[in-house]
């Protein structure tokens, strides 16, 4: 697969509901990890605050939990955080939410293989590079 085919595949998947769901879960779990770091809260202490087991926290951080609104609120309360949910028109963002790791696609070498460059310091919600 060359870079053009890969970019077309990404274009096709950007509006797929399953892709958007998985990207949203990734964004949520990244936010949880950042907040744990900010609070200097261990996973074990987080589990205690949730009234759950460390295994459940691992399930959450892997994105394998059932993220109902009730669950998200419980996580936010345990992390002493509010929740910000918004819908952003694709015309504004150019695409569905794209995780930091997919923001910049560049050829890794002359054989047109692809690498995803993580750019955590860039703004969120940027469309795929063209």
> Running DSSP on this structure, what letter comes out for residue 89?
-
Residue 108 pLDDT grade (very low, low, confident, very high; cuts 50, 70, 90): very low
Residue 94 pLDDT grade (very low, low, confident, very high; cuts 50, 70, 90): low
The predicted structure's pLDDT at residue 130: 35
Residues 6+ apart with CB under 8 A from 126: 93, 94, 98, 103
The predicted structure's pLDDT at residue 1: 81
Residues 6+ apart with CB under 8 A from 47: 53, 54, 56, 57
**What is the residue extent of each domain of the chain?**
3-85+94-117
The predicted structure's pLDDT at residue 90: 75
Comparing 8 with 129, the larger pLDDT belongs to: 8
- CATH number among 3.40.50.300, 1.10.287.130, 3.30.160.150, 1.10.260.40, domain 3-85+94-117: 1.10.260.40
Distance from C-alpha of 4 to C-alpha of 130, rounded to nearest angstrom: 10
Lowest mean pLDDT among 13-17, 66-70, 93-97, 116-120: 116-120
Report pTM: 0.66
The predicted structure's pLDDT at residue 111: 39
> Running DSSP on this structure, what letter comes out for residue 84?
-
Segment 8-37, tens digit of pLDDT: 888 888 888 998 899 999 999 999 999 999
Using only C-alpha atoms, the chain has a radius of gyration, in whole angstroms, of: 17
């Amino acid at each position: 697969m060359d870079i053009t085919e890969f970019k077309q595949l990404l274009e096709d998947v950007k509006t797929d509901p399953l892709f958007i769901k998985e990207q949203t879960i990734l964004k949520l779990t990244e936010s949880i990890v950042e907040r744990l770091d900010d609070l200097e809260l261990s996973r074990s202490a987080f589990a205690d605050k949730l009234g759950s087991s460390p295994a459940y926290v691992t399930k959450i951080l892997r994105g394998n939990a059932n993220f109902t609104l009730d669950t998200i609120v419980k996580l936010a309360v345990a992390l002493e955080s509010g929740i910000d949910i918004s819908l952003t028109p694709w015309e504004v963002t150019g695409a569905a939410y794209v995780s930091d790791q997919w923001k910049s696609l560049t050829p890794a070498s002359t054989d047109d293989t692809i690498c995803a460059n993580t750019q955590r310091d860039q703004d969120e919600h940027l469309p795929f590079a063209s």
